[in-house]
Structure 1
Amino acid sequence: MELTPGTLLKTIDSPADLKKLSREELHQVCEELRQYIVDIVSVHGGHFGASLGVVELSVALHYVYNTPYDQLVWDVGHQAYGHKILTGRRDNFPSNRKYKGLSGFPKRSESEYDTFGVGHSSTSISAALGMAMAAKYKGEKRKSIAVIGDGAMTAGLAFEAMNHAGVADADMLVILNDNCMSIDPNVGALKEYLTDITTSQTYNKVKDEVWNLLGKLPVGKSFSRSMAHKLTEGVKGMVNSKANLFESLKLRYFGPIDGHNITKLVDTLQDLKNIPGPKILHIVTVKGKGYDLAEKDQTLWHAPGLFDKVTGEIQKKKFDLPQPMKYQDVFGYTMIELAEKNKKIFGITPAMPSGSSLKYMMEKMPDRAFDVGIAEQHAVTVSAGMATQGMKVFCNIYSSFMQRAYDMVVHDVAIQKLPVVFCLDRAGLVGEDGPTHHGCYDIAFMRCIPNLIVSAPMNERELRNMMYTSQLDSLNLPIVIRYPRGEGVMPDLQKDTMADKYPFEEIQIGKGRKLKDGENIAILSFGHPGNFAAAAIRDVKADGINPAHYDMRFAKPLDEAMLHEVFAKFDKIITIEDGTVVGGFGTAVLEFMNAHGYKADVKILGIPDRLVEHGSPKQLYDEIGIDANGIAEVLREMSSVSVAQLVK
């Protein structure tokens, strides 16, 4: 299906083409750009609401500024679809987030207009400040602009950057895209503060009048720019003391203005170009703007998948048989089940209640489950604080986001032996979001920390049992439970029946399971990829290959009794994990082998020591060779070597 851009949009191959249009034509460009995003995402999928909300801003920025010489940083990156379309990627936009296609986020290697890669939130102000400081040092006149929105201002890094920007004397503009949303609604005092600003009619009326007056006054010896600045500060403080947050950080504050008024945006940005130093422009937008359903349910339409753009019906796969639950939902419903029995259980997530499915507990037990905003460091340490008081806290963070809170895991949890339960969602290759979101490294960076248990369930039942075990009083150490995005493998484990059909069983810490005995070759799997291994074993049965299979369950502590059994019996071993092969589970097995003087041919399968780009999980696991076909091929290769050695 060919989707054609509008009459003006199809003429824009770069911002230079956009600048040729009259200001009046920008309204039509915005309409066509918004419709093109709707057309493409409805058919090809991707993030949706965030980019619709910044259509006018995307057009205004490239119309006013000299990009890419002027440095534009988008944050969070899923706001940048309009930016990509306007900067030479319009015709290739249908490949967005597809295997070998455009990235769903800004990516420096993809375009000179993507000045900074942004997948995780809240990095833009720091990056843009660094660019502005470098430009000042080199004597360049380039502008640096950070567009921060979709909840990204709630993270600590944004405040660290603003604290520095106010005293760095660098020429930069921060645009706060205030839509009251991340993926889920924003939370916290900052959200309420911004709401106060945007709803204070008295403050906005007086501020606009003062700004217009200052624009008419001569700036000279008798009335300096510094005097004007002090006057505006005084008026702001007199009318609304709450308006001084950004000004107190020495960022000149402008706004709030309507982020969907293209004329106002262009005029304001033109004015701000001529004002030196650090400044912030507060714009108010609607996530999903221009698509009625997306405006009404902004969480659902953040990334809805494929849908009928006319009716709004979201396409769902149809199956004849019951399908397995998502690991996330098994976590969410198990949390409620456990919390009903154990009053000490709490749930914490940094801005991912829907994605992690903690939302179910938040709805049923709002006093025991909390979204703390995009603040992974805080999520870990507040969990640690609760643990000091005897609470059993399940801190649910995406694997790739846990990278942002590593010091807290070490300093605030592990050193103090606080029994926080880290449920690392999205472990392994997550698919279309690509390398910024793949959960590649947690096994390696967690297993090197003393006092920390690292586990991974092979299926949904194992996840339930690990969660049950982790909240028992007998477990007095922190534990990591990592699991992948999406569906599990047990169709008979469903929400309404799992408690009766699969009652909780305690798992002995550091003990694995022998799933199958065998000959010549042993497979040691860790986590969900054990299912790929089981499928591979079935595939090679016709070839006369009969591997043993062990589900190790724990990367730390290892089941040493089981490993002694394996190395005593097998001289060919395959380890399988959905984490990096550098320092991960396979490396732990090699360390054991070396420590105990065993000799064996060990093949480590996992995520290679390179960046794996975006694509469907199936495509990516096939690419790196740890799907069932890849494992089966390794089994055949190692078996053929064994046969050749016997013949020899």
Structure 2
Amino acid sequence: MDTYKPVPGPLLAKISSPHDLKKLSAEQLQDVCDELREYIIDSVSVYGGHFGASLGVVELTVALHYIYNTPRDKIVWDVGHQAYGHKILTGRREQFHTNRKYNGLSGFPKRSESEYDAFGVGHSSTSISAALGMAVASDLNHADKKVVAVIGDGAMTGGMAFEALNNAGAQNSDILVILNDNNMSIDPNVGALKEYLADITTSKTFNKMRDEIYDLLGHFKSAGEKMRKVASKLEKAVTAAITPGALFQALGFKYYGPVDGHNVDALRRHLEDLITVSGPKLLHIVTVKGKGFAPAEREQTKWHAQSGPFDKITGKTLSKPKPKENLPQKYQDVFGDALVELAEENEEIVAITPAMPSGSSLWPMMNAYPDRSFDVGIAEQHAVTFAAGLATEGKKAFAALYSTFLQRAYDQVIHDVAIQKLPVVFCIDRAGLVGADGPTHHGLYDISYLRAIPNMIVSSPMNEQELRDMMYTASKYNEAAWSIRYPRGRGTGMEIRKQFRDVEIGKGRVIEEGDSIALLSFGPIGKYVVEASERLKEDQIYIGHFDMRYAKPLDTELIDSVLSEYDHIVTIEDGTKLGGFGSAVAEYVAEKGVGVSVKILGVPDQIVEHGTQRELHDEVGIGPEGIVAEVKNLLGIKVA
């Protein structure tokens, strides 16, 4: 399985760079698209990966690399979920089977991987800002480079995208924004912008008039200067009068579209025309996420990404799942179920997510209590301040965000929540090393950046039961904000007590007493300590293990007890070593002035690439083997 390489079609097999693509005739481009789509399906059906988004932009990808002179001209992909075709066409076809694997290709565009990857992208709504920076630099350097930003309608809901549009329209640099409108991000899009774009794509009066004007005047290349000016004035007048596309015009962009994003010949012709038009331009294309693979077209959220092999005809999963009764529940699902149960008991509870109801398992809450559940779109800053506003009026706001996305709202956490001492509960999913999504999605910094903020409790449960009980305790706590972090993936499989119980704030628990070395764990990473402890017992080494639960406030009483009984403390966390839980313990021990060493195990001060979670934990030394090695090193035992 690991050595399988899809066989490219006859045209795709000859394309090792966009230069090879340009050798083909325009009539051959649809065949290239068909072969490229089939190659992506063949690859992802065996190895998994992001899926629907890349299928939806196959024609656009081919047209862009056919018309533009990449890598001199720059293509900036928003988020990067849709960049598989781009990677395959830019010299990485033979390595594509390593996509998202340890030491393999990144699942996202990455500047260090290829000169064709103009900008590294893992978070949404950044493409227009980055592209504008490149366009302005081109102006300053008199370089005459073309710059294109490809952004989805989901990413366009992010405030940063509109900040960039506003600036780009005023800057008047030569930039093309391609709005890929498929009414989807990971889940169906929400909000006024969704309706706004739907009005454009369904406005028959405008579309018919625009097409007639276009046919009358001919393509831009063949029109004289006077006719171009007439066309421009007429287009502006019509647009301002009868279409919502006037928004983009008002921001200083020339608006073109909507265009069928699956007609490669039409896309090619439009791009040929637009490359001659200076200034800020927006081309609105309409696509279908998962295009060309029927199961993905029918169930677009499910097929956003696939983790394992599937039948490329039927879409049926090929890997044999474990019996359901033996498969531990995912932490995100434990959270989702507990939130519904809490909401049944407390009508003040509300839930907020920035465009991640599936990833954060908020659908049960949204189905049970739709009036108390809010998907605010890809807008993390807004999500946090919206939660703060709800809290001012007595609502108990549970804000469900991935750790990596909460970073985008740090200012709002400080100014709008903490300073005002509002009791928002931050449920932080995907905390720690997340696996194949890699450095843009690792949730490594939340412990450090949250424990620095006053009026903030920083906690992490070691198992599913603790997660439920922390949520219950937080639902009743109104003195400050509370963050609860938990990782991607499945829990321990423990039997969960249905009844909720209070968890004392700032108090840890003793898992196991030992001899001279005490392991203080924070969060589910403690499972590795349990595993390491069993291995060490085989060598007659007995360590103490303490589940601390809180990085802030620390259980100083428990630490004092450890300091009096043990010679060495080792802390472990699935987060950065700098400023995290271990740092909090070391700071306290230093202030006490006692002669007990503190060793911090965590993620070092470096960018960790992608791989499985276990591979990455082992790489940075926080897996069971790393713990065993550290304990033996402290005891002066040589490790082979």
TM-score range, shorter chain: over 0.9
CA distance in 2, matches of 1:468, 1:512: 17
- Paired residues of 2:51 and 2:305 also in contact (CA < 8 A): yes
Q: Could you tell me which of 117, 121, 124 is aligned with 1:118?
A: 121
Q: Relative to 1, partners in 2 of residues 1:224 and 1:4: Cα closer, same or farther, differing over 3 Å?
A: closer
**Is residue 320 of structure 2 the alignment partner of residue 324 of structure 1?**
no
TM-score of the pair, normalised by structure 1 = 0.96
What secondary structure does 2:609 align onto?
A: coil
Residue by residue over 1:593-639, the C-alpha shift from the partner in whole angstroms, topping out at 9 and shown as x without a partner, is 11111222211101111011000111111111111121111112212
Residue type at the aligned position of 1:185: P
**Is residue 212 of structure 2 the alignment partner of residue 209 of structure 1?**
yes
**Is residue 422 of structure 2 the alignment partner of residue 422 of structure 1?**
no
CA distance in 2, matches of 1:275, 1:214: 16
**Is residue 557 of structure 2 the alignment partner of residue 553 of structure 1?**
no
Shift of 1:319: 2.5
More deviation, 38-47/565-574: 565-574
- 5 Å-filtered alignment, 1:406-417, equals 406-417=410-421
**Is residue 250 of structure 2 the alignment partner of residue 248 of structure 1?**
yes
CA distance in 2, matches of 1:225, 1:138: 29
- Paired residues of 1:324 and 1:492 also in contact (CA < 8 A): no
CA distance in 2, matches of 1:107, 1:43: 23
**Is residue 51 of structure 2 the alignment partner of residue 55 of structure 1?**
no
**Is residue 69 of structure 2 the alignment partner of residue 69 of structure 1?**
no
**Is residue 176 of structure 2 the alignment partner of residue 173 of structure 1?**
yes
Residue by residue over 1:398-427, the C-alpha shift from the partner in whole angstroms, topping out at 9 and shown as x without a partner, is 000011000000000000000000000000
What secondary structure does 2:367 align onto?
A: helix
CA distance in 1, matches of 2:558, 2:188: 47
Q: Could you tell me which of 371, 377, 392 is aligned with 2:375?
A: 371
CA distance in 2, matches of 1:212, 1:455: 63
Q: Which residue of 2 aligns with 1:104?
A: 107
Q: Which residue of 2 aligns with 1:646?
A: none
Residue by residue over 1:18-77, the C-alpha shift from the partner in whole angstroms, topping out at 9 and shown as x without a partner, is 000011111110000000000000001100000000000000000000000001001120
Shift of 1:214: 4.0
Shift of 1:310: 2.0
Q: Which residue of 1 aligns with 2:158?
A: 155
Shift of 1:153: 0.6
- 5 Å-filtered alignment, 1:332-347, equals 332-347=336-351
- Paired residues of 2:519 and 2:570 also in contact (CA < 8 A): yes
**Is residue 89 of structure 2 the alignment partner of residue 86 of structure 1?**
yes
Residue type at the aligned position of 1:54: V
- Paired residues of 2:217 and 2:227 also in contact (CA < 8 A): no
Q: Which residue of 2 aligns with 1:489?
A: 492
- Paired residues of 1:545 and 1:639 also in contact (CA < 8 A): no
RMSD between aligned residues:
1.4
Q: Relative to 1, partners in 2 of residues 1:272 and 1:293: Cα closer, same or farther, differing over 3 Å?
A: same
Residue type at the aligned position of 2:170: V
Structure 2: tracts of 5 or more residues without a match: none
**Is residue 561 of structure 2 the alignment partner of residue 565 of structure 1?**
yes
CA distance in 2, matches of 1:131, 1:2: 36
**Is residue 502 of structure 2 the alignment partner of residue 513 of structure 1?**
no
- 5 Å-filtered alignment, 1:184-583, equals 184-215=187-218, 219-220=224-225, 223=226, 228-240=231-243, 242-305=244-307, 306-319=309-322, 322-472=326-476, 474-493=477-496, 501-583=497-579
What secondary structure does 1:535 align onto?
A: helix
Residue type at the aligned position of 1:245: L
- Paired residues of 1:469 and 1:475 also in contact (CA < 8 A): no
Residue type at the aligned position of 1:20: K
Residue type at the aligned position of 2:625: N
What secondary structure does 1:163 align onto?
A: helix
Residue type at the aligned position of 2:263: N
What secondary structure does 2:364 align onto?
A: helix
CA distance in 1, matches of 2:568, 2:229: 75
Shift of 1:316: 4.6
Q: Relative to 1, partners in 2 of residues 1:152 and 1:286: Cα closer, same or farther, differing over 3 Å?
A: same
Q: Which residue of 1 aligns with 2:135?
A: 132
Q: Could you tell me which of 602, 622, 629 is aligned with 1:626?
A: 622
Residue by residue over 1:292-341, the C-alpha shift from the partner in whole angstroms, topping out at 9 and shown as x without a partner, is 01000000011122211122102454325612100000000001000000
CA distance in 2, matches of 1:249, 1:475: 43
Number of equivalent positions: 631
- Paired residues of 2:521 and 2:571 also in contact (CA < 8 A): yes
Residue type at the aligned position of 2:527: N
- Paired residues of 1:163 and 1:249 also in contact (CA < 8 A): yes
Structure 1: tracts of 5 or more residues without a match: 494-500, 643-648
CA distance in 2, matches of 1:514, 1:225: 78
Residue by residue over 1:144-166, the C-alpha shift from the partner in whole angstroms, topping out at 9 and shown as x without a partner, is 00000161111000000000000
- Paired residues of 1:325 and 1:491 also in contact (CA < 8 A): no
- Paired residues of 1:162 and 1:249 also in contact (CA < 8 A): yes
CA distance in 1, matches of 2:634, 2:498: 37
Shift of 1:233: 1.1
Residue by residue over 1:526-548, the C-alpha shift from the partner in whole angstroms, topping out at 9 and shown as x without a partner, is 00111111111111001111111
Residue type at the aligned position of 1:492: E
Q: Relative to 1, partners in 2 of residues 1:556 and 1:601: Cα closer, same or farther, differing over 3 Å?
A: same
What secondary structure does 2:317 align onto?
A: coil
CA distance in 2, matches of 1:210, 1:319: 60
CA distance in 1, matches of 2:61, 2:41: 16
Shift of 1:641: 6.2
- 5 Å-filtered alignment, 1:37-48, equals 37-48=40-51
Residue by residue over 1:127-148, the C-alpha shift from the partner in whole angstroms, topping out at 9 and shown as x without a partner, is 0000000000110111000000
CA distance in 2, matches of 1:398, 1:608: 21
CA distance in 1, matches of 2:266, 2:408: 37
What secondary structure does 2:551 align onto?
A: strand
More deviation, 569-578/53-62: 569-578
Residue type at the aligned position of 1:481: I
Shift of 1:218: 5.7
CA distance in 1, matches of 2:215, 2:250: 23
- Identical positions, percent: 60
Shift of 1:227: 5.5
- Paired residues of 1:323 and 1:491 also in contact (CA < 8 A): no
- Paired residues of 2:574 and 2:603 also in contact (CA < 8 A): yes
Residue type at the aligned position of 2:530: A
CA distance in 2, matches of 1:115, 1:555: 39
CA distance in 2, matches of 1:300, 1:539: 40
Q: Which residue of 2 aligns with 1:498?
A: none
CA distance in 1, matches of 2:98, 2:350: 42
Q: Relative to 1, partners in 2 of residues 1:343 and 1:270: Cα closer, same or farther, differing over 3 Å?
A: same
Residue type at the aligned position of 1:572: H
Residue type at the aligned position of 2:69: N
- Paired residues of 1:347 and 1:394 also in contact (CA < 8 A): yes
CA distance in 2, matches of 1:449, 1:624: 27
Q: Which residue of 2 aligns with 1:600?
A: 596
CA distance in 2, matches of 1:332, 1:483: 13
TM-score of the pair, normalised by structure 2 = 0.97
Q: Relative to 1, partners in 2 of residues 1:230 and 1:60: Cα closer, same or farther, differing over 3 Å?
A: same
